[in-house]
Amino acid sequence: MIVVNEVTKAYGARTLFDNVSVKFSPGNRYGLTGPNGSGKSTFMKILTGEYEPSNRGTISRPRRVGVLQQDQFAYDNERIIDTVVMGNKVLWSAFKERDRLCELSDLTDEQMHKLVELEQVIADENGYTAEFEAGEILRGIGIPDEQHENKMSTLATDYKFRVLLAQALFGGPDALMLDEPTNHLDLESIHWLEEFLCEYKGILVVISHDRHFLNSICTHIADIDYDTIILYPGNYDDMVEHKIQARESIESANRDKAKKIAQLQEFVARFAAGQRSSQVQSRKKEMARLAPQELKKSNIQRPFIRFAQEKALGREILQTRGLTKGFDGNILFKNLDLDIFRGEKIAIIGSNGVGKTTLLRCFIGETKPDAGKVKWGDNSSWSYYPQNFHEEIKDGFSALDWLMQYRDKEEDAVVRGLLGRMLFSGEESLKMTQELSGGESARLLMARMMMLKNPILIFDEPTNHLDLEAVSALAEGLSEFPGTVFVVSHDRDLISNVATRVLSFTDKGFVDHHGDYEDYLKTHKFKELAKKTK
């Protein structure tokens, strides 16, 4: 069990959470939720011991806590199997020190004694079966024996993640901490991860902006809001429903109390100076008892995302014939013939590295195809959200000044209003671009897309830095947009709510499915990626 007792964390004058006491029990899977900047990653680092509370609060945790490392390139020079064993820091440190001592030609008595101690540590940590255990986990996550001695640098990004997950799992941890585990995974890998985590028997605490993922795996939600952390039973959607019902119940009770207080105040005002002093005093006490329950301001903020088009295009939006592109002899797509029509919402999906971004860049002319042609309809214009959007937002501007560069006839008030809808109200609009978080940068770039009012919107992984509320708002905005949408994404809620057509890179070739994502899944079922880890 993980027990958090009266923990507070603040940075300067800002308190993330105050005097939090909460318990995480074995066998339960907790989603740690809250908007960007609410303190989710900070709280998880307090749980793991990486950060200390701001007060004298205490955390009791199991001896073995597995933590998913965030830097997927940090182990590129290490063997795959060694990277897994590094999950047990005590064991790995003992291995390294033993190897160092064994390389010495002449050991002192003190060094010999140290070597005996290290062998005892290795035995206590099951070090003599470590590679066997690591090999079993690697096989379970789909990495065969012949690759275990290879360097991490030989693996694709999603398989590096699997190794880091294996690292977190090595040694049978009693608790598992995962911060945004789906960020670098394709849809099939996320599907695999869900099945894997649902079989984990320890304490799972996971942060994710993927609503579908949280709904699939969570038995409880630990929500950061109202300067505290509240536990809700069920998945994310259950939490939202409970939260709304609780707030509406308090608001309704406060309205009833306010109405009753108004009646009592009228009586007090009429008879305060009269002969009914005892009744007046009784009603004053009743008014005090009926004081409305204070409602703290929730930190959940939802941007209002709506895209408009200044001009409507003709029926034919985009045509490709014989489109072919590859790199270093690896063909990503070949002889691709597509006809895209006005109003279609097209999701482009597939594993990492298969060519999704390259296809978008061929569409807009930023990458030259090896063969074939791309033809846009007359008067076509688009807004493009690149995967690496930091190149679009240069340092040295306030958010307001950066957006002002792209206005046409819009008045200052219109631009400020647009920023307000995207949660840059008041002083937030003056925040410098180099100080923006990932989520803030994403919202600023979308504000530009909203202002430009182009009839074609092109998104490459738009949800990577958005919180759950912003992802939901984006899905609504794209669903209601009357123009044409292209979106590369691994977020199933976004794809399910938006897509009317799916372009999929699969092992069996390129699939052009005319229909929504649910229909696509029924027609083209996922293959089983790997055996479940036992």
* pLDDT at 526 exceeding the cut of 60: no
Question: What are residue 204's DSSP bridge partners?
Answer: 29, 176
Asked whether residue 74 is assigned to any structural domain, the reply reads no
pLDDT in tens, 463-506: 888 888 899 999 999 999 999 999 999 888 899 999 999 999 98
Q: Is the pLDDT of residue 131 over 50?
A: yes
Question: What are the residues whose beta carbons fall under 8 Å from the beta carbon of 262, sequence distance 6 or more?
Answer: none
Measured in whole angstroms, the distance separating CA 187 from the mean position of its chain's CA atoms is: 14
Residue 117 is encoded by which pair of tokens?
A: 């101690």
Residue 352 burial class via C-beta count within 10 angstroms: exposed 0-12, middle 13-18, buried 19 and up: middle
> 330-339 pLDDT, tens per residue?
899 999 999 9
Instruction: Compare 190 and 275 and report the one with higher pLDDT.
Output: 190
Whether residue 531 has pLDDT greater than 50? no
Residue 177 is inside which H or E element, if any? strand 175-179
Both 244 and 345 in one domain: the answer is no
Residue 265 DSSP SS3: helix
Angle at 53 between CA 294 and CA 12, to 5 degrees: 70
- pTM (predicted TM-score): 0.73
Q: In a 3-state reduction of DSSP, which class is residue 362? A: helix
- Which of residues 532 and 258 earns the better pLDDT score? 258
Among 206, 231, 252, where does a domain finish?
A: 252
Same domain as 334, residue 248: no
Are 386 and 487 members of one domain? Answer: yes
Q: Is residue 270's pLDDT more than 70?
A: yes
Residues 390, 392, 398, 399, Cα dihedral to 10°: -90
Structural domain boundaries enclosing 421: 316-523
Residue 135 has pLDDT above 80, yes or no: yes
The answer to whether the Cα torsion of 280, 284, 286, 287 is positive or negative is positive
Which is more confidently placed, 323 or 71? 323
Residue 429 CA to residue 16 CA, distance in Å, equals 22
Across residues 359-370, what is the average pLDDT?
Answer: 95
Asked if 187 and 322 sit in the same domain, the reply is: no
* Residue 117 counted as domain residue: no
Q: In this predicted structure, what is the pLDDT of residue 528?
A: 39
- Residues with Cβ within 8 Å of 326's Cβ and at least 6 positions away in sequence, in order, are 332, 334, 370
Residue 533, pLDDT > 50, answer: no
Regarding whether 202 and 56 lie in a shared domain, the answer is yes
**pLDDT, tens digit, for every residue of 301-314?**
789 999 999 988 99
326: left (phi over 0), alpha (psi -120 to 50) or beta: beta
- Asked if residue 477 and residue 362 are part of one domain, the reply reads yes
Do residues 296 and 316 lie in contact, with contact meaning Cβ atoms separated by under 8 Å? no
pLDDT, position 530: 38
Q: Is 443 exposed, middle or buried (0-12, 13-18, 19+ CB in 10 A)?
A: buried
Collect all residues with Cβ–Cβ distance below 8 Å to 228 and sequence separation of at least 6: 17, 18, 19, 20
Most confident of 117-121, 171-175, 275-279, 431-435: 117-121
What is the model's pLDDT at position 298?
63
Which domain CATH number covers 232?
3.40.50.300
Domain count, the chain: 2
Q: Please report where in the chains the tokens 């959470």 appear, as a residue.
A: 17
In a domain, 58, yes or no: yes
What mean pLDDT do residues 201-209 have? 93
Residue among 139, 142, 120, 121 nearest 131 (CA): 139
In a domain, 426, yes or no: yes
For residues 323 and 241, membership in a common domain is answered with no
As a whole number, the mean pLDDT across the chain is: 88
pLDDT at position 193 is 86
Torsion of CA 224, 227, 233, 239, to 10 degrees: -70
Tell which of 196, 225, 252 closes a domain: 252
* Residue 534 in this model has a pLDDT that exceeds 50: no
Question: Per the domain annotation, does 471 fall within a domain?
Answer: yes
Shared-domain flag, residues 328 and 222? no
pLDDT at residue 299 in the model: 63
199, 330: one domain: no
Phi, psi of 68 (to 5 degrees): -75, 115
Q: How many residues does the chain have?
A: 534
Is 308 a domain residue?
no
Q: Is the predicted pLDDT of residue 227 greater than 90, yes or no?
A: no
Residue 152 lies in a domain: no
CA distances (Å), origin 488, targets 132, 187, 216, 466, 495? 39, 11, 22, 15, 9
Residue whose C-alpha is closest to residue 359's, from 505, 215, 258, 252: 505
Tokens at 235, concatenated: 């998945």
Helix H or strand E segment including 221:
strand 220-225
> Is 403's pLDDT higher than 90?
yes
Whether residues 336 and 442 share a domain: the answer is yes
Which of 233, 252, 271 terminates a domain? The answer is 252
pLDDT at 532 over 60: no
Kindly state the DSSP code that residue 462 receives in the 8-state scheme.
T
Distances (CA, A) of 36 to 10, 304, 325, 379: 16, 16, 38, 38
> 240 and 324 share a domain?
no
* Domain identity same for 337 and 459: yes
